[in-house]
Copies of this chain bind each other. A is one copy, B any other.
């Protein structure tokens, strides 16, 4: 039970607050309204990570204010799909913010990150060179959670031996993210080689009948390897997030 609720239940019992006040506290303790947004300050405790800013379709001013509001509560800030303009607006409010341009990610750390010494790690694989930005978005997300993310780029199925000579690292990773465009076949092959969960990220790399990533998405959903799940096209952040929830469980479990 939340501390505030405990406090108000006691106060209510003691006649120090009304029933209305009690019920109000239950619902309002965690949300801050900015007019254009309701920031969910309790998400960090509920989900293990503060609210993440999805920058697409937001004005630089909105991104800047959201970042400041989150940081103000002592939380780290992770903003995805960010533009240079949006970063500039954040930078003004949070001078220590960093922009990873190729991955379109803004990072601001509330506290100094201690060196990563954890037991488990994720491996992020791409089929081609063009899938790297999506992979980096995933890697930065995982590192924001304080986990380790190794990478292996350009090992697609047209030259399968490039992957097979790396089975060593494949079998050591606790979770594997595979980003691939075109026919999206790599997660199935990887899935067949390991016993870890595989998070497949279709990328919008391709052309003609594969444009937009739909061929890769459909292929991954129909994977003949049963340990494969799928996130939205180009959703490196989502793959990194769900991977982090698994690594969180593992760290907690192994302590």
Identify the A interface with B (CB < 8 A).
1, 6, 9, 12-13, 15, 19, 22, 24, 26-28, 30-31, 35-38, 40, 42-43, 46-48, 51-52, 56-58, 62, 81, 119-120, 127-130, 132, 153-162, 164-165, 174, 182-185, 188-189, 191-199, 202, 204-235, 237-239, 241-242, 245-246, 248-250, 253-254
Contact = CB atoms under 8 A, between A and B. Distances in A.
A28 B165 contact: yes
Contacts of A222: 182-183, 206, 208-210, 215-216, 232
A26 to B, nearest CB: 8
Cβ-closest 8 pairs across A and B:
A27-B165, A208-B233, A185-B185, A210-B222, A57-B130, A215-B218, A229-B229, A183-B219
B221 A209 contact: yes
A128 B62 CA distance: 12
Contact of A31 (B38, B62, B159, B174): B159
